Amino acid sequence: MPTLKYVTRITGGLVCLALSALAYADSVTITLDSNYPSDYTQYSWISNGKTYTEPVSPYMAVLNGDGYFNQSVLVICYDMSADTYVGKAYTGSMEPISYFTGVEKTEIMEATYLVNELNVDGGLNAPLAVRGALSLAIWEIMNPSSTTKSTPFPTDPAALPYEAEAAAAVASGAWTIADANQYQTWVPGPDDIGSIQRFGEYTPTPEPTTFVLTGLGLLGIGVVIGRSKTLSQKNS
């Protein structure tokens, strides 16, 4: 029987990958739920006459390090085309909006606005059409800063109103830095930053030691690791 490895591709966000537990003092490992495909929800859309299908956020994961101990959370994928193995621990760090600069900072501001909207809309319980459109919107927003940028990006028409709404909220100041800081971003460590996804927090973040989670425990890793991801199987 072949061993199956499930590769997660996430669009529009930053993903923290764990390679060395000693990489830096505040390292946080993230491990995506290995029960693929049953624990992942697939969404299909058409772009330029081609049909695409990807698992959409939020995803179940476990965090460890920097105050987290086997913490079950939900995360949002920020990068669509970065290969990430489910069930494998990756090391990175949880970063506030002040960590980012320039265009990437604006992208994460807009992505966290949509993470908040997904949270309000019910997360895992939101209609598939909503989860899919929001995931695609986050992936496309984060695509310019992604190290595995898709050119051209396979735009989902249903995502465009969400992208416009997020841009307007950030530009007008209706969505502030303080708002965005509720959803920190998991960023991959230096050895993996060019190859795996960024993830965003799913729920507003208190200190790790005082997390009060509902259900499985919802933590959005507002990842520039974005929210759309693609999972595929590999045999080895």
Which pLDDT score, from 0 to 100, does residue 81 have?
A: 81
Domain ranges of the chain: 4-235
185: Cβ contacts below 8 Å, ≥ 6 apart: 13, 14, 78, 94, 95, 99, 100, 108, 198, 199, 200, 201, 221, 222, 223, 224, 225
SS3 170: helix
The pLDDT score that the predictor gives to residue 44 is 98
Q: Which residues pair with 53 in a beta bridge?
A: 44
Q: Could you report the per-residue pLDDT of 67-93, keeping only the tens digit for each?
A: 899 999 999 999 988 778 899 999 999
Residue range 30-57: mean pLDDT, rounded: 95
> What confidence score (pLDDT) does residue 193 get?
65
* Secondary structure (DSSP) of 162-220: HHHHHHHHHHHTSS-HHHHTTS-EEEE-TTTTTTSBBEEESS----GGG----TT----
* Mean confidence (pLDDT) of the chain: 78
- pTM for the full predicted model: 0.77
Q: Is the dihedral of CA 182, 27, 82, 230 positive or negative?
A: negative
Cα 97 from Cα 109, distance rounded (Å): 7
Which band of pLDDT confidence, cut at 50, 70 and 90, is reported for residue 203?
Answer: low
Instruction: Please state which of the ranges 23-32, 174-183, 184-193, 216-225 shows the lowest mean pLDDT.
Output: 216-225
**Confidence tier at 102 by pLDDT (50, 70, 90):** very high
Mean pLDDT of 182-187: 92
The arithmetic mean of pLDDT across residues 121-127, rounded, is: 94
Res 34 pLDDT > 60:
yes
Tell whether the model's pLDDT for residue 1 goes beyond 70: no
- What average pLDDT does range 127-154 have in this prediction? 94
| Phi, psi (degrees; rounded to nearest 5) at 108 | -70, -35
Q: What is the pLDDT, as a whole number, of residue 194?
A: 60
Averaged pLDDT for residues 115-138: 95
Look at 44-48, 109-113, 126-130, 212-216 and tell me which has the smallest mean pLDDT: 212-216
Bridge partners of 5? 234
Q: Which residue has the higher pLDDT, 158 or 210?
A: 158
pLDDT of residue 198: 80
